[in-house]
Amino acid sequence: MKKKLPIPRIGKRTFWKISFFGTVFLLVMILGTIGAVHYTERPQFCATCHNMRPYIQAWKTSKHSDVPCVECHFEPGVLSTIKGKFIAINQLTKYVTRTAGPRPSAEVSDRSCLRSG
């Protein structure tokens, strides 16, 4: 018969400390992620890449200047927004690693233009 190893026990105080700091860490991570998602949806963030500046300037003077970039460049729906974020992260990675082409390209789906509102 095999001898069972004892299960290490922690005190109540240690358990509550770990639970508290774990909860605070999780909350900070969730709020940070939400903040990052909202920050990266701003046209000012898109304009930080030098090759986007002419497109941002054209957008600012167009009749669509009151419409955020993601309203057109992300199709409606949560899954489409997540897909759009992954595409954007890929583009950002290419920009940072200097593997992006000289001219950015993007498509705007009819679904984006035809949504209500």
What's the whole-model pTM score? 0.61
Tokens of 111: 């679904």
Sign of CA dihedral 48, 50, 52, 57: positive
Band of residue 77 on the pLDDT scale cut at 50, 70, 90: confident
Residue 64 pLDDT exceeds 80? yes
**pLDDT tier at 41, thresholds 50, 70, 90:** confident
Closest CA to 102 of 54, 63, 56, 31: 54
Answer yes or no: is pLDDT of 30 > 90. Answer: yes
